[in-house]
Amino acid sequence: MLKTRVIPCLTIKDLRLVKSIRFSEHRNIGSYIAAARVFNARDVDEMLVLDLDAEREGLHPKLIQDIAKECFMPLTVGGGVKTLEDISLLLRLGADKVSINSAAVLDPELIKAASSQFGSQCVVVSIDARLRSGGYEVFTHGGSRNTGLSPALWAKEAEIRGAGEIFLTSIDHDGCMDGYDLSLVKSVVEAVSLPVIASGGAGNEAHCTRVVKEGGASAVSAASIFQYTEITPNMIKEELAKSGVEVRL
């Protein structure tokens, strides 16, 4: 059985580490290099980095290269990834996996091409979703564009096209520290056989345990909990282990 992972997420804007609430109100919380060093020292399972400016400005190679130098754990990088050349560049700069979001929705064939060229293990499809009156819907471009797609159906299509993993974020819960959206996570987990990383809402160890035990997530990603509380990734893993979840301690 694969062990459940705890994955800190660094979001970067204007070359500073930031944290958002529902994908807006980005608050400057310091240096992403310092944060990467802290998580590296704490021997986390993986780390995920999202460059929020890359969609508009293009990739920032030096930013990714600088972070990769501080990471001795698997590193996933996302933000502004639009082409196979982008993916190739990020992998050369030190990323182990690349997260594709808006570009995958606009051109689903990119998933298949990336999987064929680099291997499905490198391809993470990122899905940002909100709850609307008709159910959950996928949003792209930093949560600003409604696609009308169902997260579960889109995740299934991504799997068919060769994605190796789904990174699922609830925009409604992002930065709120009020718990993961269990219904959203469960709907996507039940639609695919891929690992699903749950993101958006972690405020304590119990939230992480619930999204794994009740939502079926294969991994938990979090940001605010590590910036605004004394809780560490290992504390979350210890709580998961107490509840019978297999983790790497």
Contact 106, 81 (CB under 8 A): no
Print pLDDT tens along the chain (249 aa).
Answer: 689 999 999 999 999 999 999 999 899 999 999 999 999 998 899 999 999 999 999 999 999 999 999 999 999 999 999 999 999 999 999 999 999 999 999 999 999 999 999 999 999 999 999 999 989 999 999 999 999 999 999 999 999 999 999 999 999 999 999 999 999 999 999 999 999 999 999 999 999 999 999 999 999 999 999 999 999 999 999 999 999 999 998
Helix (H) or strand (E) run with residue 157 in it: helix 151-160
d(CA 221, CA 10): 10
Contact 159, 148 (CB under 8 A): no
d(CA 100, CA 83): 9
* Structural domains present in the chain: 5-242 (3.20.20.70)
Phi/psi of residue 24, each to 5°? -140, -175
d(CA 111, CA 21): 29
Q: Return the bridge partners of 220, or none.
A: 6, 198
Q: What is the pTM of this model?
A: 0.97
